[in-house]
């Protein structure tokens, strides 16, 4: 194929005019379609527009309703779980009825006088958590049952001193006593 020089206005190739005619023909078809689209000034009827609006608003309402049902049900179940835990904690009652020691070992007698069974989780002596339990920790205490908890005191026990002993259950109920050695 020979390329036209700058001085030539038309190429020597016979296919080129055919391409120009085909492009012009397609261009006229496209222009005719566009002209008919823009020349027609009629819009969507009021009934169709109203139905489309109702459909859009209904769809948005269904989406909002579905989301809110899921969100409220999860909130409700969390609330019920928290309420049930508080109810169990309120039914839990226990008391430290006796404390005695031998050297640095402390012994507690705990009475469960509540409506449900409980388990002792932690004991604090003067706000220091006990690390070494000998017996009684994580043992379920039935209703009306006494249990002995033995542990090594986290603080040195001195005769005649007063110590605050706090016993905590697994549900978070607490019983505090002041014990004088």
Check residue 87 and give its pLDDT.
87
Residue 73: the pLDDT is 80
Query: Is 105 a member of any domain?
Result: yes
Quote the CA–CA distance of 123 and 63 in Å, as a whole number: 52
| In-domain check, residue 81 | no
Rounded to 10 degrees, the C-alpha dihedral 5/7/9/15 comes to -20
Whether 3 has a pLDDT exceeding 60, the answer reads no
Count of beta carbons in the 10 Å neighbourhood of residue 110: 23
The answer to whether residues 121 and 162 touch, using CB atoms and an 8 Å cutoff, is no
Residue 100: which domain range?
92-180
Is residue 44 a part of any domain in this protein?
no
pLDDT digits (tens, 9 = 90+) for 139-177: 889 999 999 999 999 998 888 899 999 999 998 899 999
**What's the number of domains the chain is made of?**
1
pLDDT confidence tier of residue 9, bands split at 50, 70 and 90: low
Quote the distance between the C-alpha of residue 98 and its chain's center: 43
pLDDT of residue 157: 87
In a domain, residue 36? The reply is no
Residue 58 predicted with pLDDT over 90: yes
Among 26-35, 51-60, 71-80, 81-90, name the most confident range: 51-60
pTM of the model: 0.57
84 vs 8, higher pLDDT? 84
Q: Tell me if 132 is assigned to some domain.
A: yes
pLDDT at 20 over 90: no
CATH number at residue 152: 2.60.40.1890
The rounded distance, in Å, linking the Cα atoms of 114 and 126 is 26
- Is the residue at 142 inside a domain? yes
Which residues face 169 on adjacent strands? 120
In the prediction, which pLDDT does 181 show?
Answer: 83
pLDDT digits (tens, 9 = 90+) for 70-124: 888 888 888 888 888 888 888 899 999 999 988 778 999 999 998 899 999 999 9
């Amino acid at each position: 194929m020979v390329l036209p020089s700058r001085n030539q206005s038309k190429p020597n190739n016979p296919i080129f005019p055919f391409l120009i005619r085909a492009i012009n023909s397609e261009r006229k078809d496209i222009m005719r379609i566009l002209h008919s689209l823009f020349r027609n000034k009629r819009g969507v009827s009021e009934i169709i527009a109203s139905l489309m609006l109702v459909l859009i608003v209904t769809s948005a309402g269904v989406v909002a309703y579905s989301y809110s049902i899921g969100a409220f049900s999860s909130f409700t179940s969390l609330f019920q779980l928290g309420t049930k835990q508080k109810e169990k904690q309120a039914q839990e009652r226990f008391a430290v009825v006796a404390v005695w020691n031998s050297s640095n070992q402390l012994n507690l007698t705990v009475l469960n006088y509540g409506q449900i069974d409980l388990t002792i989780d932690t004991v604090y002596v003067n706000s220091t958590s006990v690390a070494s339990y000998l017996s009684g920790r994580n043992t379920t205490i039935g209703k009306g049952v006494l249990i002995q908890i033995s542990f090594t005191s986290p603080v040195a026990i001195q005769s005649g001193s007063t110590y605050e002993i706090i016993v905590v259950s697994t549900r978070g109920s607490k019983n505090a006593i002041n014990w004088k050695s």
